[in-house]
Amino acid sequence: MAEKTGVPSPPEELALAGREFYRRGWVLGTSGNFSMLLARKPLRICVTASGMNKGDLDETNFLELDDDAEILQGFGKPSAETLIHLCIYRHLPKARSILHTHSVWGTILSDHFYEQGAIEIEGYEMLKGLSGITTHEHKEVVPIVDNSQDYIALSHVIENVLLENKGIHGVYLRRHGLYTWGETVADARRHIEIFEFLFEVLGRQIK
């Protein structure tokens, strides 16, 4: 069907994003994971299988999961971080795609600003690339959350962050990576590009 209409399927859209992010150095090795919402009631998502090199992603590297992270279609193992994707979808009604990257500059900033509690970005024209932002005078806050291998507990922490910080476009796991989202895969990709540009700008100013 996708070939006849020219419209990429959800796995194809996510694979394209993954290959581009790998090329730009934001998901090296097997880092990062990407998802798209397929349905809300009942909740269904398409998400990358664990351990995949994002530079080689294709539509076969994705799983369809239910709201308990149980596999409905596909082959492989879902990442433990799937619980974070499910948490974000449950608490952000407009989110229909979530992308997670591991960049050098973001990792540096998550350490540098950890005690402050967030990466704060203000006064840059590129902020207008974030959904709903119309002026460079906007202050974007990216909360920093301590990383953990207990993803059940971590998803609860992120739930609280989302409830306490309305209107944010991303969350950073310290020394780990960025989660951002959008109403479409294209929106989420744009948010990644905006954040990664701004992270590098801020990072180059650190002395």
Q: Which residues pair with 141 in a beta bridge?
A: 120
164 pLDDT more than 60: yes
Residue-level pLDDT at 5: 59
Angle, CA 39 vertex, CA 33 and CA 40 arms, to 5°: 100
Mean pLDDT of 78-95: 93
Query: Which domain, by its residues, includes 15?
Result: 2-205
CA 57 to CA 67: how far, in whole Å?
24
Q: Is 52 exposed, middle or buried (0-12, 13-18, 19+ CB in 10 A)?
A: buried
**pLDDT given for residue 6 in this prediction:** 67
Average pLDDT, whole number, for the chain? 92
Domain count, the chain: 1
Judge whether residue 2 has pLDDT over 60: no
- Domain CATH for 101: 3.40.225.10
The total of other beta-carbon atoms located within 10 Å of residue 30's CB is: 14
What is the per-residue pLDDT across 174-197, written as a single tens digit (0 to 9) for each?
Answer: 999 999 999 999 999 999 999 999
Q: Give percent above pLDDT 90 in the chain.
A: 79
Count of C-beta atoms within a 10 Å radius of residue 114: 16
- Give SS3 for 140: strand
φ and ψ of 133, to 5 deg = -100, 125
CB neighbours of residue 148 within 10 Å: 14
Q: How far is CA 160 from CA 85, 88, 133, 182, in A?
A: 14, 11, 23, 19
- Per residue in 113-146, pLDDT tens? 999 999 999 999 999 999 999 999 999 999 999 9
Helix, strand, or coil here: 73?
A: strand
Least confident of 26-30, 49-53, 89-93: 49-53
